[in-house]
Amino acid sequence: MQLQQMYQEIILDHYRQPHGSGLREPYDAETHHVNPTCGDEVTLRVKLDDAAETVVDVSYDTLGCSISQASVSVLNDLVVGRSVADSMRILDAFQEMAQSRGKVEPDEDVLGDGVAFAGVAKYPARVKCALLGWMAFKDAVSRTPAAVSTAAVSTDAVSTDAVSTDAVSTEPGSADRAEKQDQKGPVG
Amino acid sequence: MTAVSAPRVGAGGPGSGVDVARIREDFPILARTVREDRPLVYLDSGATSQRPRQVLDAEREFLENHNAAVHRGAHQLAEEATDAYESARERIAAFVGAMTHEVVFVKNATEGINLVAYAFGNASVRTGLTEESERFALSPGDEIVVTELEHHANLVPWQELCRRTGATLRWYSVTDDGRIDLDSLELTDRTKVVAFTHQSNVTGAVAPVDELVRRAQAVGALTVLDACQSVPHMPVDLHALGVDYAVFSGHKMLGPSGVGVLWGRSELLQAMPPFLTGGSMIETVRMEATTYAPPPQRFEAGVPMTSQAVGLGAAVDYLRLIGMDAVAAHEAELTRVALDGLRDVPGVRLVGPDNTTERGGAVSFVVDGVHAHDLGQVLDDRGIAIRVGHHCAWPLHRRYGIVATARASFAVYNTVDEAAQLADGIRAAQDFFGVGR
């Protein structure tokens, strides 16, 4: 049965008991991403350390299907405590796997529980679900004060132009909101 | 000119029910399997319907024998192509109780609504044809009224028109069971347009057209009817409904994609400025200025779709031979079976009326503990195709505080057994995700 290939037990476990869910203070940047085809939403906050080299926390609030919820839970597992550079490498590997239509064999050493999403890659309509939280994370990192000041002088892995908008579109107006939220204002 | 073979109607003829098994033989796609040899159960006709061989054959016959650019050229093929195109217009008009010259071919219903909205916008900036077109002009303080259950296609163009003209958008809210709440809004003498859907693509509710038209006429407002989900499923007589404009799409009524219809009352189309301009829609052209052709050509700039129009003509022939009363009766039975099935499943919440009174066959619902996407995936695994998401009616979903719904929708080729499989699929999803029961 194909259903079990997609909904691996690991995914269902993360869905039922998500790791690190909820929105927490403090944070350096917050993003709100929406999947316009189904209305699923994620609000995600990133906190980096003082040197802006390590991901200290990823907190989030999601409204969505099991795939999108489990995916952001796995994201939390994989990137919290890692360097920003490592997080982006993991993100790239996850995105490559998710968009491969099942042609990329995932590396468990890099992706951990994320390899469970290999089955999702075979369902194009669900790839956006799997990537929703990850794109929100990428966007959030690029909007941290450190990244914004770095982007002014160079383009590196976390520059804004690296944000893919074809995989997950941002809700119109959310960029404005995200900018306001960079100032740590209340969630609109 | 293109021979259309008759669809397979019930033994008793139109009006006495349909022989679904025989109708299904006309739809090759319904015989295929999906996802590891599961028979396809297609419950997504609200998004797009499947097409019978008669439609496919008509398109192919046209392209193999008569294809040419219509309304230009004097050669034989041009004559034949123009005849086929205009014959389709005539039959489609008759199908919805319209006069032939009131039917404008457009790409789809979305384009039809945009055509009206942009024509009103053009009238508003006084680029209109004549003094007659002044009646369509909108100014700050004027009101356009829609409803909270509209498809984005009958909402966003009006939002945009308001933005361009300074008019104000107002809307009827909806009741808890998914109908337009007539008590939620009073029209005023500033209301210029009232746009609403004949049958909701989410809740299935059929609008009280008579009452909405009466109220609009009382304040002198024009009415625009989104008939995408009604024309394919029930008898529709646009003149009898009393509305001023209506739109519907070919691909939702057993016809091709890429063709739809804008219908407008003759005197309104006559007075209305164009939307798209260019070839075909002109009367005389000089370097200094141009005058425009009468409707419907005024609104069909450029070489139009042709095989698609011919295919839509074949689709209305097909539906007419079955009989729209019979189609409506059959789909009401499918809806009843689906609603009965859902009622028996704990944890299912319907978004729309729970009976078949003034209701069509869009059946939307949420299942506690199972997101619509996940439900759709489980059903897909069983071969059942439904729609999941907000169905281009996001404000309606917000109204009910939900992100997404699952929607089953029917067409004349669905069987009672298919409608009944919906509830079984929901139970399977509940088992899979360990909720309910």
Tell me which residue has tokens 């007419």. B320
A173 and chain B: CB distance < 8 Å anywhere? Answer: no
The residues of B carrying an active-site annotation are 392
pLDDT of amino acid B312: 98
Chain B residues within 8 A of A41 when measuring between CB atoms? 403
Q: Give mean pLDDT, residues B241-259.
A: 98
Q: Which of B389, B403, B432 minimises the CB distance to A63?
A: B403
Asked whether the predicted pLDDT for residue B165 surpasses 70, the reply is: yes
Q: Which residues of B touch A (CB under 8 A)?
A: 35-36, 371-374, 377-378, 381, 388-390, 394, 397, 403-404, 432-433
Residue B122 predicted with pLDDT over 60: yes
The larger pLDDT score, comparing residue B131 to residue A133, is at: A133
Which of A3, A39, A40 shows the shortest C-beta gap to B381? A3
Distance from CA of A20 to the nearest CA of B (A): 20
Q: Does position B106 have pLDDT exceeding 90, yes or no?
A: yes
Query: Does residue A124 belong to the interface with chain B, where contact is any CB pair within 8 Å?
Result: no
CA distance B186 to chain A (A): 31
Model confidence, pTM: 0.89
- Residue A22 confidence (pLDDT) above 50: yes
Which chain A residue's Cα is nearest to B401? A63
* Each residue's pLDDT tens digit, B7-54: 554 443 444 579 999 999 999 999 999 998 999 999 999 999 999 999
The answer to whether the Cβ–Cβ distance between A7 and B432 falls below 8 Å is yes
Q: What is the pLDDT of residues A29-75, one digit of tens each?
A: 999 999 887 788 999 999 999 999 999 999 999 999 999 999 999 99
A3 lies within 8 A of chain B by CB: yes
Q: What is the ipTM of this complex?
A: 0.80
